[in-house]
Amino acid sequence: MALTIIKPRAVDLSETFNFTGTVTGDNVGGGSLVKISEQTASASSSISFTGIDSTYRTYYFKFINIHGSSTAQFRFNASTDSGSNYNVAKTTTYFVARHDENGSNGQIGYDTGNDLAQGTGEQLLSDNYGADNDASLSGTLWLFNPSSTTYVKHFYSDCQYYQSAVPRTNRTFMAGYGNTTSAINAIRFQMSSGNIDDGTITMYGIA
């Protein structure tokens, strides 16, 4: 039976106490952004997050220094069967702002080759970037209400990467929806070729 009443003669508040359970209330521990899972790549062919459910209305992925083993695209797909198959139909948009270190090619534009129209394949979060030691990608991906069985599942990303072969900075914006009324319960990230050699992907929930 859980203790519900303290009946001491005195409680010394200068002592250190251990409390178990969950702290609730406003702005406890940074508010409503809750870290669920974090994975660090180490020559990983892919990184997958399963167990996505209705606990949170919104899921937020953060990419830190995603570094590929070879020049490749960083991309993702979704699953409605807990990761057995990553093949949800998606319609997406993709545009990029870029600028070379020599001052040329400062531009923004839509990349028709990097979007999907009801495609079940991987959706790009970046175009090809190099595997030079100091090259990587960082950014975010939002996934909204993946457990809905009424609506399609919206997502959008904002990623920044160093295309070392040019060399060039790129900021990519991707958005779209998983065109299914089945719940999405897993997300997988991988490079278009080779491994993810280094980097961290963290999944947060936002109630």
**Which region, judged by CB under 8 A, interacts with other proteins, from 70-78, 83-91, 131-139, 183-191?**
131-139
Please, what is the end-to-end C-alpha distance for the chain in angstroms? 30
Dihedral over alpha carbons 127, 179, 140, 136 (to 10 degrees): -20
DSSP tag of 137: E
Whole-number Å distance between alpha carbons of 33 and 43: 29
Buried b (16+ CB within 10 A) or exposed e, 43-72: ebeebbbeebeeebebbbbbbeebbbbebb
Q: Which of 1, 13, 84, 118 binds other proteins (CB under 8 A)?
A: 13
162 dihedral zone (left: phi>0; alpha: psi -120 to 50; beta): beta
Q: Which of 61, 67, 115, 190 binds other proteins (CB under 8 A)?
A: 67
- Tell me the C-alpha to C-alpha distance, in Å, between residue 177 and each of 95, 113, 151, 184: 16, 17, 10, 11
Q: Which one of 46-54, 116-124, 159-167, 181-189 is the stretch in contact with other proteins (CB under 8 A)?
A: 159-167
Q: Which stretch binds other proteins (CB under 8 A): 33-41, 78-86, 120-128, 185-193?
A: 33-41
- Residue 162 binds other proteins, judged by CB under 8 A: yes
Cβ proximity to other proteins, 50 vs 105, nearer residue: 105
Query: Does the protein bind other proteins through residue 68 (CB under 8 A)?
Result: no
Tokens coding 35: 């870290």
Map the footprint of other proteins across residues 84-123, applying CB under 8 A: 97-103, 106-108
Distance (Å, whole) CA 160 – CA 173: 9
Comparison of 89 and 131: residue with beta carbon closer to other proteins: 131
Which CB, 43 or 108, lies closer to other proteins?
108
> Virtual CA dihedral for 45, 51, 53, 56, nearest 10 degrees?
-80
- If one asks whether residue 53 binds other proteins (CB under 8 A), the answer comes out as no
**Least Å from the CB of residue 28 to other proteins:** 6
Q: Which of 7, 84, 118, 149 binds other proteins (CB under 8 A)?
A: 7
Q: Which of 134, 151, 165, 193 binds other proteins (CB under 8 A)?
A: 134
E strand map for 80-136: 90-100, 107-110, 117-119, 123-124
Applying CB under 8 A, the residues found at the interface with other proteins are 3-14, 22-23, 28-35, 62, 64-65, 67, 97-103, 106-108, 133-140, 158, 160-162, 167-171, 198, 200, 202, 204
